[in-house]
Amino acid sequence: MSDINSLVILAGGASSRMKKQINSDINLTEAEKKQANNRSKALISIGENDRPILDYLLLNAKNAGFKVIYIVTGEGNSLFKSFYGDNNEGNNFNGLTINYAIQYIPKERKKPFGTADALCQAMMQYPELKKSSFVVCNSDNLYSKNAFELLRMQPKTTNALIAYNRGSLKFTLERISRFALLSIENNLLINIIEKPELNQIDNFKDEQGSLRVSMNIFRFNGKMIFPYLENCPVSEERNEKELPTALLNMIKDYPKSTITIPLSEHVPDLTSKEDIHVLKEYVREIDISRFR
pLDDT tens per residue, range 214-239: 999 999 999 999 999 999 999 988 89
What does residue 141 show for φ and ψ, rounded to 5 degrees?
-115, 135
More confident residue, 101 or 196: 101
The neighbour count for residue 29, using CB atoms within 10 Å, is: 9
Report pLDDT for 209.
86
Q: How confident is the model at residue 267 (pLDDT cuts 50, 70, 90)?
A: very high
> Which of the listed ranges 34-43, 183-192, 194-203 does the model predict with the highest average pLDDT?
183-192
Report pLDDT for 14.
54
Report pLDDT for 273.
85
More confident residue, 224 or 49: 224
Q: How confident is the model at residue 120 (pLDDT cuts 50, 70, 90)?
A: very high
Report pLDDT for 18.
67
Task: Detail the DSSP E strand segments found in the chain.
Answer: 6-10, 68-73, 91-93, 96-102, 133-138, 159-165, 181-185, 188-193, 212-213, 217-221, 258-263
More confident residue, 180 or 137: 137
**Which tens digits make up the pLDDT trace of 143-159?**
999 999 999 999 988 99
- Closest C-alpha among 146, 185, 141, 181 to residue 163: 181
- How many whole angstroms separate alpha carbon 148 and alpha carbon 130? 20
Residue 79 in this model has a pLDDT that exceeds 90: yes
Averaged pLDDT for residues 252-274: 93
Averaged pLDDT for residues 57-77: 96
Report pLDDT for 2.
56
Residue 133 in this model has a pLDDT that exceeds 70: yes
What does residue 115 show for φ and ψ, rounded to 5 degrees?
-70, -35
CB 100 within 8 A of CB 80: yes
Q: How confident is the model at residue 21 (pLDDT cuts 50, 70, 90)?
A: low
Q: Which DSSP category does 118 fall into?
A: H
Report pLDDT for 26.
67
- Closest C-alpha among 68, 61, 219 to residue 134: 219
- Output the CA angle 266-112-278, nearest 5 degrees: 25
Report pLDDT for 202.
82
Report pLDDT for 31.
81
Report pLDDT for 114.
94
Averaged pLDDT for residues 1-18: 78
Nearby residues of 126 by Cβ (< 8 Å), 6 or more positions away: 70, 99, 101
- How many whole angstroms separate alpha carbon 130 and alpha carbon 220? 10
Q: Express as a percent the part of the chain with pLDDT over 70.
A: 92
Torsion sign across C-alpha atoms 51, 214, 200, 209: negative
